[in-house]
């Protein structure tokens, strides 16, 4: 019997993807991640795993699960998975790209606008009964977004979607990425490639859209913040560890930069206490980038399809490690 374990609750209609496949699926109906030791023990007798970013799939886990043939992450990122170790073990790794592009780009722009115009502060001010009359020198004075310069760190699918949204605000869009786009694509998107230092120096808003790698970890550190405009704001909907949170908190506290809008954190779900204490021009969200009903449903369905296909000897639609060829199950 071919068996699949789902480590945490997902949108249950995603399991319809397994109908008629002969694959047995065990869904754990709990939103809390299992401790690492318990996850290893539970998954040991399964052929496939659907997991979330909060599940650590490392060499120790893989060694404890010798039957495992595919791990499907319900996320576009996969820094919670040791892909090299999975490849050595012959385990296919999949993710859920594309389906969350627009939802995450929408949220990045939401954070940009909310931080620039101090929306959470205004909401709290009104709810506290402090709004008594309109005044020219409003307590929550913001900054203009229309016509500003937006710097994109990373220009994958989500970064490009944010660039397209910036057109409606007549923004000058700069970008820095390890791979420069062809000139024709740059013209179509209306973006200009610059080196990292120029991106920092020129941007009114810097939005992070890079994966987490050894080279991007803490790319935004004290030196990076010092290179930004004192009026600049940082937006991060990518991966928390790309930003040194302690350095960011210090930069915000000392006025090195003006604001930040964050949806992801360095030690998620823990958030640096200094950041939490900052109330002005700092917007913090609990990883809502892909959090629309339609998007999360399709992410779960894609993960299910990836596992079904891999266990049926077909190439999954979003295979992270193509070196691992799908192989037929023994039933």
Angle (CA) 39 44 48, round 5°: 90
| Beta pairing partners, 243 | 220
What does the alpha-carbon distance between residue 298 and residue 304 come to, in Å, rounded to a whole number?
A: 10
1: tokens are: 């019997």
As to burial, measured by CB atoms within 10 angstroms (0-12 exposed, 13-18 middle, 19+ buried), residue 119 is middle
Structure tokens at 167: 């057109």
Cα–Cα dist 127/134, whole Å? 15
Long-range interactions of 283-288: CB distance < 8 A, separation 24+: 283/111, 283/114, 283/115, 283/119, 283/120, 283/259, 285/107, 285/111, 285/261, 287/263, 288/107, 288/263
Q: Are 73 and 52 in contact (CB under 8 A)?
A: yes
Cα 301 from Cα 266, distance rounded (Å): 28
Residue that the structure tokens 């009114």 belong to: 204
The count of C-alpha atoms lying within 13 angstroms of the C-alpha of 241, restricted to the half-sphere facing its C-beta, is 12
Cβ of 133: how many Cβ atoms within 10 Å? 4
Nearest Cα residue to 257 out of 239, 244, 241:
244
Q: How far apart are CA 119 and CA 14, in angstroms?
A: 36
Q: Could you give the residue numbers annotated as active site? A: 239, 268, 287
């Amino acid at each position: 019997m071919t068996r699949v374990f789902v480590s945490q609750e997902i949108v249950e209609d995603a399991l319809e993807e397994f109908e008629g496949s002969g694959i047995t699926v065990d869904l754990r109906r709990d939103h809390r991640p299992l401790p690492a030791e318990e996850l290893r023990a539970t998954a040991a007798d399964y052929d496939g795993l659907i997991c979330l970013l909060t599940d650590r799939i490392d060499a120790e886990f893989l060694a404890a699960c010798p039957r495992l043939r595919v791990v499907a992450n319900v996320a576009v990122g996969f820094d919670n998975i040791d892909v090299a170790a999975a490849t050595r073990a012959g385990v296919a790794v999949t993710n859920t790209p594309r389906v969350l592009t627009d939802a995450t780009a929408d949220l990045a722009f939401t954070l940009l606008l909310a931080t620039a115009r101090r929306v959470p502060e205004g909401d709290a001010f009104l709810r506290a009964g402090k709004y008594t009359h309109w005044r020219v020198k409003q307590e929550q004075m913001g900054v203009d977004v229309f016509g500003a310069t937006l710097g994109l760190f990373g220009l994958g699918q989500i970064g490009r979607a944010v660039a397209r949204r910036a057109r409606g605000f007549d923004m000058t869009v700069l970008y820095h990425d390890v791979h420069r786009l062809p000139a024709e694509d740059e013209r179509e998107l209306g973006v200009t490639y610059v080196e990292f230092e120029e991106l920092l120096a020129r941007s009114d808003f810097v939005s992070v859209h890079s994966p987490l790698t050894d080279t991007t970890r803490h790319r935004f550190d004290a030196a990076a913040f010092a290179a930004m405009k004192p009026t600049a704001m940082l937006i991060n909907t990518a991966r928390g560890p790309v930003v040194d949170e302690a350095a960011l908190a210090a930069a915000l506290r000392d006025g090195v930069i003006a604001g930040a809008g964050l949806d992801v954190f360095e030690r998620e779900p823990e958030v640096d206490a200094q950041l939490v204490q900052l109330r002005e021009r700092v917007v913090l969200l609990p990883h809502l980038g892909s959090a629309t009903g339609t998007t999360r449903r399709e992410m779960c369905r894609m993960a299910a399809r990836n596992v079904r296909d891999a266990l049926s000897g077909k190439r999954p639609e979003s295979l992270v490690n193509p070196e691992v060829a799908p192989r037929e199950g023994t039933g």
